[in-house]
Copies of this chain bind each other. A is one copy, B any other.
Amino acid sequence: MYKEILKHVTSKIELTEDEQLEFIGILSEQRIAKRQFLIEPGQTVDCEYYVVKGCLKAYYLDEGGNKHIIQFAVEDWWISDFEAFFGNLPAQLYVEAIEDSVLLGINRDTLETLYKRISKFERFFRIKTTNAFVALRGRILSSLQKSNKERYLEFCQTYPEIEKRVPNYHIANYLGIKPESLSRLRKEMF
């Protein structure tokens, strides 16, 4: 259960046996069935979640009630309403399981106290956020400067796992295009 996340963390910082145990100690396992919500708008978001197993999506509904998918997550990814989590604000997003999933939650306050005891963890989460920042930056560039066909191709190459496991209309939504348009792009491509 904890093997994956320990590998994930120790790829960035070295941890003694004791530190590993201490880290595991602050994780809370959470299981969630397909179509169930991990987070709903208005809730307080105390945790960010590491995905051990499964597949989830984060989205919000706009004024017109249209769904907008912001993020998918599968094994070895993190998910939450990060804006709410970091800012200690009420959630604006739904986080919903696309498949039955197993998660490890980290509580913000518990994490803060861990930072104070072992500052290496502050380092880990700084590095993790920095990497996420760089990845997001790449997504912006691609969203602004590439055609939808290129972006879909890029999506398939970057997230082959997700492309296989998630229905096309979800992917279209994530890319910000209509399912009909995605269908046409796919037709032109193969």
Contact = CB atoms under 8 A, between A and B. Distances in A.
A168 interface: no
Contact of A136 (B87, B119, B125, B140): B140
A82 B123 contact: no
A129 B133 contact: yes
Contact of A140 (B119, B129, B143): B143
Contacts of A159: none
A137 to B, nearest CB: 6
A131 B86 CA distance: 8
Contacts of A141: 68, 70
B68 A134 contact: no
A77 to B, nearest CB: 15
A143 B141 CA distance: 10
Contacts of A145: 62, 68, 176
Instruction: Give the size range of A's interface with the partner.
Output: 20 to 34
Contacts of A144: 68, 143, 175-176
Interface SS, A side? helix
B136 A137 contact: yes
A70 B139 CA distance: 12
A127 to B, nearest CB: 9
A163 interface: no
Q: Which of A83, A140, A144 has the most CB of B within 10 A?
A: A144
Interface in A151-180: 175-176
A167 B137 CA distance: 23
A43 interface: no
22 contacts: A68-B144, A68-B145, A70-B141, A82-B133, A82-B137, A83-B137, A83-B138, A86-B130, A86-B133, A86-B134, A87-B134, A115-B123, A122-B123, A122-B126, A126-B129, A129-B133, A136-B140, A139-B140, A140-B143, A143-B144, A143-B176, A145-B176
